[in-house]
Amino acid sequence: MNLWRKKVLKWQIISVIWILIIGSLLHFTYEWSGESPIVGAFSAVNESVWEHLKLGYWSMIFFCLIEYPFLKEHTGSYFFAKAVGIISMNTFIVAFFYFYAALTGKHSLFFDILLYIIGAVIYGILSYTIMIKNYSRKLDKIGFVLLFVFGMLLVVFTYYPPHLPLFKDPQSGSYGI
């Protein structure tokens, strides 16, 4: 394995660990902030599946601010890799959450945490794999747009959520903030 691949691998392992730790903290920051609407844009504001997607996304975005300067010279597909990774992570979490909930008729904190961990590993593997392929800069621009749009949806749907099961807090029956 050449030196730049090792560097990218090291950063992706660190990013998975970061997502697991910071994402877990983001589960509580809205409550810790006294339910600040600004903090709510980046934290889970209720127990809906949608709100939990923010945990991986925003922790990944915060890590990108640290990681990007170190990797930008090593890959032409940084943002594309991150977009594919985080979208895959969140798709996995949503799909398997509803799968196991339908199968068992209930949800389990243990399985929710397990899905988050597996999703973060999927994110890391896909991000690494795409970054070392070094796809075109055009794909990187598409990745940047995807990340931006997904982030905006996470924020907007915090304040104006559709009344769909994905956005409904199973504990309170409420939607969004």
| DSSP state string for 27-48 | TTHHHHTTS-HHHHTTS--SS-
pTM reported for the whole predicted model = 0.92
Note whether residue 82 is domain-resident. yes
pLDDT tens readout for residues 33-43:
999 999 999 99
Identify the DSSP state of 164.
S
Q: What is the CA radius of gyration of the chain?
A: 16
Q: Which amino acid is at 138?
A: K
Give the total number of structural domains in the chain.
1
pLDDT value of residue 26: 97
Note whether residue 167 is domain-resident. no
Note whether residue 102 is domain-resident. yes
Low-confidence spans in the chain with pLDDT less than 70: 1
Note whether residue 78 is domain-resident. yes
For residue 168, the cross-strand partners are 175
Nearest to 63 by CA among 14, 29, 10: 14
Report d(CA 96, CA 116) in Å as an integer: 10
Note whether residue 126 is domain-resident. yes
Note whether residue 175 is domain-resident. no
Q: Which domain holds residue 128?
A: 3-160
Q: In this structure, what token pair is assigned to residue 43?
A: 């934290």
pLDDT value of residue 74: 79
Note whether residue 112 is domain-resident. yes
Q: In this structure, what token pair is assigned to residue 99?
A: 């799968």
pLDDT value of residue 11: 96
Identify the DSSP state of 171.
T
End-to-end CA distance of the chain: 47
Note whether residue 123 is domain-resident. yes
Q: How far is CA 105 from CA 100, 109, 110, 116, 173, in A?
A: 8, 14, 15, 20, 17
pLDDT value of residue 134: 73
- The helix/strand/coil state of 160 is coil
For residue 175, the cross-strand partners are 168
